Amino acid sequence: MDPVSIIQKKRDGEPLTRKEINFFIGGIGDGTLPDYQAAAFLMATYIRGMNSDETRWLTEAMMYSGEVVDLSGVNGFTCDKHSTGGVGDKITMIIAPMAAALGLKVPMYSGKGLGHTGGTIDKLDSIKGFRTTLNTDAFVQSLNDIGIANSMQTETIAPADKRLYALRDVTATVDSIPLITGSIMSKKLACGADGLVLDVKFGNGAFMQTEKDAKELASWLISMAPIRNIRVSALIDNMDDPLGYKVGNALEMIEVIEVLKGKQVDDLVEISIAIVSEMLRLSGETGNVKAMAKEVLKDGRALVKFREWVTYNGGDGTVIDDYSRFPQATSRMDIQLDQSGTISGIHARAIGEAAVYAGAGRLAKEDTLDYGAGIELHVKRGDRIVAGETVATLHFSTPRRTPDEIVKMIQGAFQLSETPVSPLKRIVSTIRQ
């Protein structure tokens, strides 16, 4: 078998065989195929697409390019959660303790943020001492001890994806359904959970722009479940406005703790309850899953579990009672608009980008983060404001652009209407196997 004929076949729109896909992806994973052939394969796949068999074989081959984690040593139903990425998306830190307090085991391999969307690892790193890299033994131990294990995705999981993803970024081949499906599901399946709830987002702050595209992607992702015989569901939700009120690593962790202490941040609570309900459902729970999810948040058990999670991992648990122990930005700037009206939208991508410029995210992989930097919103879609009212606060120490430029970006993110506007409806549907 030779790589050129495989690229040629795909270029000409012919379906590839399982053997051909295994050969090609194997060569990507072990480094025997060069970047230029990988890039040509990506472009041919981007343009010609893949049928469902090819996509399944691609996902499988990418999964087997690295370690396939065995969680059979965990006592209980293991259920993972994956978000396709958003702005202010801190849901993982809320749902993990909720689900674990309800007896589920929550294994999660997460990443760092890149671009306008934040990463779970960066948020956890804003708690001093929190260990965010666990080897497989420690990962299993953590699941058995406290019901949660979260680790940075290691180099050994789906190495073919690591190479392909980096190439996709620079060859304009990111937004391809088979390539996204292979990328996400190879990693998720390699992590070995019994169940998986996907949070597939659409809108200006998300990867997929429209609800239709998000639903199509969700169906493809779910259709990969038989590869490891796992149970998968997907929530489809809107990411036109940032989630919650805070964007930036330490700021988001504070908001997580506030929600776990009972603060009613509507969108965060709604999505968290929906995800935990779905996790319970996948585990075979037949009771009132929504009521169980609501209760564990309300009665403080999720907060107790969160504290356990932080201290088990060596993190400074005092942050939970004293937010001043989180990294703080040295400067704050309140932001006003010069018009009155009703907020009809807060452009999530613009807020995400402004947070990156404030120092909360990376423009390049090697950039260091300012954990205290970010944006606090004081209003949401549907709120009425008057000119001169403070709508947001910028937190910064060593921003990547001037504070005035960032403030302008934030002001530009607000859309106003003369007429009443309803709050953003987040969850539009749930897709099940």
Binding site for ligand URA (CB under 6 A): 84, 165, 180, 183-184, 207
Residue nearest to ligand URA (CB): 183
Query: For ligand URA, which is the closer residue by CB, 64 or 207?
Result: 207
**Would residue 378 show up in a list of annotated catalytic residues for this protein?**
no
3-class SS at 331?
A: strand
**Residue 131: CB minimum distance to ligand URA, A:** 23
Find the catalytic residue in 81, 112, 162, 168: 168
Q: Are 421 and 385 in contact (CB under 8 A)?
A: no
**Residue 372: CB minimum distance to ligand URA, A:** 27
Query: For ligand URA, which is the closer residue by CB, 165 or 312?
Result: 165
Find the catalytic residue in 105, 112, 162, 187: 187
Query: For ligand URA, which is the closer residue by CB, 207 or 357?
Result: 207
Q: Which residues, in sequence order, are CB contacts of 150 under 8 Å at separation 6+?
A: 92, 96, 108, 109, 110, 120, 124, 132, 134
Query: For ligand URA, which is the closer residue by CB, 3 or 113?
Result: 113
The gap from C-alpha 369 to its chain's centroid, in whole angstroms, comes to 18
**Would residue 322 show up in a list of annotated catalytic residues for this protein?**
no
Q: How many CA atoms lie within 13 A of 133 on its CB side?
A: 4
Residue in the block written with tokens 């008057």: 386
Q: Are 256 and 90 in contact (CB under 8 A)?
A: yes
**Would residue 5 show up in a list of annotated catalytic residues for this protein?**
no
Query: For ligand URA, which is the closer residue by CB, 64 or 309?
Result: 64
Question: What is the β-pairing status of strands 384-385 and 414-417?
Answer: unpaired
Using CB atoms within 10 A of its CB, is residue 338 exposed (0-12), middle (13-18) or buried (19+)?
Answer: exposed
Find the catalytic residue in 161, 194, 199, 267: 161
**Residue 161: CB minimum distance to ligand URA, A:** 7
Tell me the C-alpha distance between 319 and 251, whole Å.
Answer: 12
**Residue 180: CB minimum distance to ligand URA, A:** 4
Find the catalytic residue in 10, 48, 81, 82: 82
**Residue 395: CB minimum distance to ligand URA, A:** 28
**Would residue 408 show up in a list of annotated catalytic residues for this protein?**
no
CA angle 85, 371, 149 (to 5 degrees): 55
**Would residue 12 show up in a list of annotated catalytic residues for this protein?**
no
Active-site residue list: 82, 161, 168, 183, 187
